[in-house]
Amino acid sequence: MIKHPAFIVEPWSVRECHLHTDVLAQTESVFALSNGHIGLRGNLDEGEPYGLPGTYLNSFYELRPLPYAEAGYGYPESGQTVVNVTNGKVIRLLVDDEPFDVRYGTLHSHERVLDLRAGTLIRKACWSSPTGAQVRVTSTRLVSFTHRAVAAVRYEVEPVDQPLNVVVQSELVANETVPPPTADPRAAAALEAPLVLEENVTARNNVCVMVHSTRASRLRVAAGMRHEIEGPDGTRVECDGGGNVSRVTIATRLVPGERLRLDKFFAYGWSAKRSRPAMHDQVVAALAAARLTGWDGLCAEQRAFLDDFWAGADVEVEGDAEVQQAVRFGLFHLLQAGARLERRPIPGKGLTGSGYDGHAFWDTESFVLTVATYTYPRAAADALTWRASILPLAQARAEQLGLAGAAFPWRTINGEECSGYWPAGTAAFHVNADIAAAVTRYVDATEDTDFERDIGLPLLVSTARLWCALGHHDAEGLYRIDGVTGPDEYSAIADNNVFTNLMAQRNLRAAAATAVRHLDRAERLGVTLEETAMWRDCAAAISLPYDERLGVHEQSEGFTGHAVWDFAGTTPEQYPLLLHFPYFDLYRKQVVKQADLVLAMHLCGEAFTPEQKARNFAYYEALTVRDSSLSSCTQAVLAAEVGQLDLAYAYLGEAALMDLRDLEHNTRDGVHMASLAGAWIALVGGFGGMRARDGRLRFAPRLPSGITRLTFRVRYRGRLLRVDITQDGTTYRLLHGPPLTLSHHGEELTLGAQPQARRNAPPPFPDLRVKQPPGREPAPRRPGDLSRDLIGPAEEPAEEL
């Protein structure tokens, strides 16, 4: 865990002013760079020391066996684990024959800066070797948003006070040694030397190419590097390679005032089908394009790409500098995860680490794509197109389970289920409805009818068919969905989980309505009028358990009759509970890992009255332990909706600072994509009160006392809207697009000829008494307590459109 103030608080960057080797792995995740295709952990340039080395390509994985004490029908036979591919980040430095290693000699200064507007990681170090030779080293690293296959580093060395002999070794390294796995099941399974060498070629012009393949998954990966070198006369360059290493060595003598500059371009590609020569040529071509653009061109393109993104996605927070930094940090990482997906998934850790084996979960559709839809919709379309591409595998899985339609995997890389634990895996069928909800959200926000017809409809139809196969009408005519697991993984194999049923209801209705809009396409999918009528009937009769005695909805049927967990007898060291108690005990008690029924009230709010929301929220607050990073943002949204603004503010801080403070002690395995999305969701959906459905944006803004101003931008149906909330009122401004009608606390407003409107908020709700399990209260936000020496210099705000 990061126990010291690792990062300076600044509005547009994450800055580390001192190197703390005890948290290298955590900072490697925070400083990771990606574009959705390539992911580079923030390892030091020289490769050592490291916490967890990592270079990843989206969906490049190796198969591994899933051992079972006792096998069962339908259990997945193998798992998939993301592979640490060929490392192109390594640049070693020797000064008068002494290797630059921060563990030796004297490190006079060391700074790393993740620049959220430039899209670069900058490192500056001043170091003396054990013999007293002193150098300054500056490196700038980027993963290009505009060149999908390309990453680059500018590396500069200069002597401080005396002439020095300097040698720089730029390398490609495969099959790096990785640390052994931990006992935490959330960490990745370690794979030893997963890559088999097929080719290692060193060519002219300092170009090296290596091609490898995996043993079991039979995927092929190519990596290449090319260099531009500036140094004094007499600088010598040599290339060599063998086995799993390719190397370009630059040797020179520098006097004070001179410098050696190396621009390193490296490129990647992978395929399950393409030949070795084709993969070789692919990376050579990518390197040629990168060299044509040049280092300055790559940086300019990177900045322009981010300027366009921030113009439509930025969130401004006044009154809390930490949250301001954190929400931009989160948006930056979400963009990195989805910018160049091109029909690939967004894993739970993005491409920042090997946590969860690199798998994608329902987190993507329910949290990450919520943000992407209104800030960078291309990523949402790409991620859902990937879901459509694995539809045949989901249909085959449903058939294996004796069901109609599609059963999408709980966790996967290539589309096949690789969760070896049924109750928290396959039984969580709500992933189907989460995908359907993401489809309808994207179509509602973009009016992309081509996507709806070609991608959305097949997904909606196949998922709707699953609910009709999974559920049944009981003697009273209610439609029941039994034996499933909702979002709360501490309650498994339950009957009529309210979240699942409400999301299935939406899925069924959306499938029926979309089929009517695209009759020809629906007919080709075998949809009939009788089938759409059945979908509507099932949706209308959906069962929603309600405890009349307590006046609250049951998370699932019978839940409120279970014994309440012994919270008073549980010590802080025993959280998360799944690591210290058997699942069978968790399953039969009232204890909630993460927001479940509360998430239902967020995503399906129209199914509950305001009074029901308040009672439900208070009841489940006392049971929710937040052993999942997915929970805080949802609790923030509902806390704000029921008038608990300070509580919502506390939950916002927890979601926003999950990785910058390593709150769950596992940031070393990669950042938490859903929690990073949660910072935006808590601010925009919570304090902005934004809901979007059926072509209409609705807002119910209210701010906690700790935030004096909140401004955000959303893209919706060809418009760009800016919402500016203060303690005195809210201003809506249409920045781009045709007239827009929205609602403010139920009052309808139209922005068009008058592009701006200002409204006040109604009086706050009556106070609601809520409590959390003992010891699980969120830490209250006290931004005023932030030490002055952690606040960085103010920066100019992003330019307005």
- Dump pLDDT digits (tens) for 374-418: 999 999 999 999 999 999 999 999 999 999 999 999 999 999 999
| Packing angle, helices 377-389 and 321-338, rounded to 10 | 40
Whether residue 787 has pLDDT greater than 60: no
Q: What is the DSSP letter of 607?
A: G
pLDDT in tens, 772-782: 999 999 999 98
Give the domain-ending residue among 237, 259, 292: 292
Q: Quick one: average pLDDT of 85-112?
A: 97
What's this model's pTM, rounded to 2 decimal places?
Answer: 0.95
Number of domains in the chain: 2
Whether residue 637 has pLDDT greater than 90: yes
pLDDT in tens, 426-446: 899 999 999 999 999 999 999
Whether residue 795 has pLDDT greater than 80: no
Q: Please name which of 358, 402, 380, 416 lies closest in space to residue 77, comparing C-alpha atoms.
A: 416
Whether residue 800 has pLDDT greater than 80: no
Q: Please tell me whether 422 is known to bind a ligand.
A: no
* 230 and 320 together in one domain: no
* 772 and 647 together in one domain: yes
The contacts of residue 577 (CB under 8 Å, 6+ apart) are 490, 570, 586, 591, 593, 625, 627
The 10 Å CB-count burial string (b at 16+, else e) for 539-556 is bebbbbbeeeeeebbbbb
Q: What is the 3-state secondary structure (H, E, C) of 264-291?
A: EEEEEEEECCCCHHHHHHHHHHHHHHHH
Tokens of 200: 């290692």
User: 82 - beta bridge partners?
Assistant: 61
Distance CA 435, CA 336 (A): 21
Confidence of residue 764 (pLDDT cuts 50, 70, 90): confident
Per-residue model confidence (pLDDT) at position 767? 76
The rounded percent of the chain whose pLDDT value lies above 70 is 96
Whether residue 77 has pLDDT greater than 90: no
* 45 and 154 together in one domain: yes
Give the domain-ending residue among 292, 323, 351: 292
Q: Which amino acid is at 328?
A: R
Q: Please tell me whether 386 is known to bind a ligand.
A: no
pLDDT in tens, 522-555: 999 999 999 999 999 999 999 999 999 999 999 9
Tokens of 779: 């830490």
Radius of gyration of the chain measured on its C-alpha atoms: 27
246 part of a folded domain: yes
Choice among 46-50, 179-183, 327-331 with the minimum mean pLDDT: 179-183
pLDDT in tens, 228-257: 999 999 999 999 989 999 999 999 999 999
Per-residue model confidence (pLDDT) at position 796? 40
565 part of a folded domain: no
* 242 and 167 together in one domain: yes
Q: Which amino acid is at 354?
A: S
Confidence of residue 515 (pLDDT cuts 50, 70, 90): very high
355 part of a folded domain: no
pLDDT in tens, 687-737: 999 999 999 999 999 999 999 999 999 999 999 999 999 999 999 999 999
Full residue range of the structural domain in which residue 159 is found: 31-292
Q: Please tell me whether 363 is known to bind a ligand.
A: yes
Which SS3 state, helix, strand or coil, does residue 742 take? strand
Count CB neighbours of 228 within 10 A: 16
* 135 and 40 together in one domain: yes
Q: What is the DSSP letter of 567?
A: S
* 37 and 115 together in one domain: yes
Per-residue model confidence (pLDDT) at position 785? 52
* 91 and 50 together in one domain: yes
Q: Is 489 a catalytic residue?
A: yes
Confidence of residue 791 (pLDDT cuts 50, 70, 90): very low
Per-residue model confidence (pLDDT) at position 793? 39
Q: Please name which of 129, 111, 107, 130 lies closest in space to residue 121, comparing C-alpha atoms.
A: 111
* 235 and 319 together in one domain: no
Whether residue 277 has pLDDT greater than 60: yes
| Packing angle, helices 529-540 and 457-470, rounded to 10 | 60
* 730 and 635 together in one domain: yes
706 part of a folded domain: yes
Distance CA 84, CA 43 (A): 13
* 329 and 209 together in one domain: no
Element (H, E) at 253: strand 245-254
Terminal-residue alpha carbon distance, the chain: 40
Phi, psi for residue 357 in degrees, rounded to 5? 60, 15
Q: Quick one: average pLDDT of 313-337?
A: 98
Tokens of 466: 């699953």
* 676 and 758 together in one domain: yes
Whether residue 790 has pLDDT greater than 70: no
Per-residue model confidence (pLDDT) at position 3? 62
Distance CA 275, CA 273 (A): 7
635 part of a folded domain: yes
The catalytic position among 489, 641, 654, 664 is 489
Provide the CA 21 distance to its chain's centre, in angstroms: 25
361 part of a folded domain: no
User: 747 - beta bridge partners?
Assistant: 744
407 part of a folded domain: no
pLDDT in tens, 552-569: 999 999 999 999 999 999
Whether residue 799 has pLDDT greater than 80: no
CB 479 within 8 A of CB 504: no
The CATH number linked to 723 is: 2.60.420.10
The CATH number linked to 185 is: 2.70.98.40
* 264 and 321 together in one domain: no
63 part of a folded domain: yes
Confidence of residue 582 (pLDDT cuts 50, 70, 90): very high
